[in-house]
Chain A
Amino acid sequence: MSYRDFNRMLYRTILHLHPAPFRERFAGEMLWIFDEMFAERGMWKLATDALSSLLKQWVVADAVPKTAPAPFQFVPERPMSAAILLQAALITSMALLGFSKLLQQNVPLPQPPKTFEVRRVVPDICEYKLRPSRHAR
């Protein structure tokens, strides 16, 4: 398998993870454009673009359902297929990887402003107790 074929297979996998209506309508055309643009753009840019589209499609599909079920409507329960579980696992691991990358970044903690420095006005209680004993000597 050549480098190009391997990348094409990866790209197809990303396309396969898109929601079914989007995939059925546009995946063929996207793959065709991938073939046209691969040589000049490279895999990294095309994969980033496809991953951002994947994220947008799932977020949009979840945020704006085409037909919301009416209250008390019967929702058929379907068993989760292996493909759906694989998609969920991949998307979750991508999100977790991104989150862990964020956590690894060394962000300095905010320091309190110096103008709020507390100054001791009353003498230290230990010093206060020691003073009479010094005079007693």
Chain B
Amino acid sequence: MATNDTSPLSPATFHVLLSLASKDLHGYGIILEINRISNGQYRPGPGTLYDNLAKLLNLGWVEDYEEKGRAGEEKKRLYRLTEEGRNVLAADVQRMKRVVRIAHRLLGEEGGRA
């Protein structure tokens, strides 16, 4: 599913995609990474995380695979960003940049008037 400039991602979806941008992670790793990149401001619960992961897997923005561990160890599922997911994330970051630029300009003008 393609996205465009007029469809901003929800905060949870954005953070999940962003956490997977640099490395593949398992579920709990995604929660810890989100907590890290948001400076402890946002820490989704497992329900919120897997709701979003299920949606992202269906959309094809994220894919999962089984971790290659040692024999006898419990294998965990890892999640990684697909090419399409990376494009969607980049498009949303561009959209945010535009919004921030406009906000700076408007706030600057407001400050000038006051």
Contact = CB atoms under 8 A, between A and B. Distances in A.
Given A29-B77, A32-B27, A32-B28, A37 B46 contact: yes
Interface string B62-76: 000000000000001
The 9 A-B pairs at the shortest CB distance, nearest first, are namely A53-B47, A49-B45, A49-B47, A33-B46, A30-B46, A26-B50, A50-B47, A29-B27, A33-B28
Given A22-B54, A36-B28, A29 B46 contact: yes
Interface string A19-38: 00010011001101110110
B51 A57 contact: yes
A-side interface mostly = helix
Contact of A33 (B27, B51, B54, B77): B27
A33 B31 contact: yes
Interface string B10-53: 00000000000000001110010000000000001111111101
A26 B53 contact: yes
A53 B27 contact: no
A45 interface: yes
Given A22-B54, A53-B51, A57-B51, 19 more contacts: A29-B26, A29-B46, A29-B76, A30-B27, A32-B28, A33-B27, A33-B31, A36-B28, A37-B45, A41-B45, A45-B45, A46-B45, A49-B46, A50-B46, A50-B47, A53-B48, A53-B50, A54-B47, A56-B51
A52 interface: yes
B44 to A, nearest CB: 8
Nearest to A64: B58
